[in-house]
């Protein structure tokens, strides 16, 4: 039996540094209204959706830095996202900078939240792969200081039973690492929700700049195909505070085909009707992990080469 749902990638155009949460949340609510009109079950927003991509700046003043973080979720300012989800019976996923108080100390993560159509929090993920630097790099027009502002996510790569299927989240740079996809794939993931902020230029390797869009779709298409899953990938696009950010939000099928794609660099809803059962014809044939994947052979190879063995079953 088909498990068909409509999903929407809610691409955001630039968010200025001084944009209030209220203005960004209002833009997000407008996109949620559009998603409800096409009867979407789920709308997905970018990484760090609520603010400008602040890791481009070296910020030394903690009170300024804290202004980009959420110390509770929902908060007074983000509550409208939860209320709108409930009012429209619409799931929502969005990225935000998380300031957590754990065992008396403050911890910072690059996180995403998954909210159900009843407005309650289904799950929460903390980004594992943090690109860029801890210290500002001399001569770079824009910094990429995620290592300065965030700790490595400590929640693993969980999946949730939601929206009629098995759902996981990755955040931006995570999508470039096959093991992140595979840990989700080993849990039979059927829909991966991915927000990103991808600069069009990488001053560390300008020779990659012409390939930014190609490598973005390459990892999404291969991650989906090799794990028999759908993905919704959503960017913060356009020229944000003088820095060009990749648009190209898309929905990718378990076949690896792109089924819907953004056509602008601004706020735009990219909609696709997807059948979660389309994952079956990959998970039960060419990528039937139980039948064809041989973890003990990987272990043997790793032992022979002297590398650290992975956890059992991974
Ligand atoms: N936000 C994020 O993770 N962006 C990275 C840029 C890496 S270049 C320093 C990405 O993988 O898209």
Catalytic residue, candidates 70, 93, 146, 172: 172
CA of 125 to the centre of ligand 1 (A): 17
Ligand 1: residue whose CA is nearest its atom 4:
198
Catalytic residue, candidates 127, 146, 268, 283: 127
Ligand 1, atom nearest to 47 Cα: 1
- In tens, the pLDDT along 90-104 reads 999 999 999 999 889
* Sequence-ordered list of residues with C-beta below 8 angstroms from that of 136, at least 6 positions apart, any chain: 58, 143, 145
CA 254 to chain centre: 17
Buried b (16+ CB within 10 A) or exposed e, 132-171: bbeeeeeeeebbbbbebbbeebeeebebbebbebbbbbbb
Q: Is 195 in the pocket of ligand 1 (CB under 6 A)?
A: no
Distance between CA atoms of 220 and 193, rounded to whole angstroms? 11
What's residue 299's pLDDT?
86
Q: Is 202 in the pocket of ligand 1 (CB under 6 A)?
A: yes
Ligand 1: residue whose CA is nearest its atom 8:
202
- In tens, the pLDDT along 109-152 reads 999 999 999 999 999 999 999 999 999 999 999 999 999 999 99
Q: Sort residue 25 into left (φ over 0), alpha (ψ -120 to 50) or beta.
A: alpha
147 is a catalytic site residue: no
Ligand 1, atom nearest to 198 Cα: 12
**pLDDT under 70: residue ranges of the chain:** 1, 308-314
What's residue 309's pLDDT?
57
Strands 250-252 and 258-261: antiparallel
Q: Is 176 in the pocket of ligand 1 (CB under 6 A)?
A: yes
What's residue 307's pLDDT?
77
Ligand 1, atom nearest to 48 Cα: 1
What's residue 312's pLDDT?
53
Q: Is 129 in the pocket of ligand 1 (CB under 6 A)?
A: no
């Amino acid at each position: 039996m088909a498990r068909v749902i409509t999903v929407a990638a809610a691409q955001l155009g630039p968010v200025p540094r001084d944009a209030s949460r209220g203005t960004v949340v209002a833009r997000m609510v407008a996109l949620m209204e559009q998603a409800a009109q096409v009867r979407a079950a789920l709308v997905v927003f970018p990484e760090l959706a609520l603010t400008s991509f602040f890791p481009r700046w070296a910020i030394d003043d903690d009170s300024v830095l804290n202004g980009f973080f959420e110390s509770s979720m929902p908060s007074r300012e983000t509550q409208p996202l939860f209320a709108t989800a409930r009012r429209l019976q619409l799931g929502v996923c969005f990225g935000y900078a998380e300031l957590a108080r754990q065992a008396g100390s403050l911890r910072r993560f690059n996180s995403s939240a998954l909210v159900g159509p009843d407005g309650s929090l289904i799950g929460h993920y903390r980004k594992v792969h943090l690109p860029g630097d801890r210290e500002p790099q001399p001569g770079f027009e824009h910094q990429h200081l995620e290592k300065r502002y965030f700790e490595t996510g400590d929640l693993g790569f969980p999946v949730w039973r939601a929206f009629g299927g098995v759902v996981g989240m990755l955040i931006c740079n995570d999508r470039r690492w096959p093991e992140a996809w595979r840990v989700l794939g080993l849990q039979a993931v059927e829909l991966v929700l991915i927000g990103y902020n991808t600069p069009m230029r990488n001053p560390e390797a300008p020779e990659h700049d012409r390939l930014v869009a190609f490598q973005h779709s390459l990892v999404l298409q291969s991650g989906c195909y090799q794990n028999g899953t759908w993905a919704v990938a959503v960017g913060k696009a356009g020229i944000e505070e003088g820095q060009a950010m990749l648009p190209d939000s898309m929905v990718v099928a378990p076949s690896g085909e792109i089924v819907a794609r953004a056509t602008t660099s601004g706020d735009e809803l990219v909609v696709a009707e997807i059948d979660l059962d389309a994952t079956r014809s990959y998970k039960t044939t060419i990528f039937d992990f139980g039948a064809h994947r041989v973890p003990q052979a990987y272990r043997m190879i790793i032992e022979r080469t002297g590398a650290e063995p992975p956890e059992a079953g991974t």
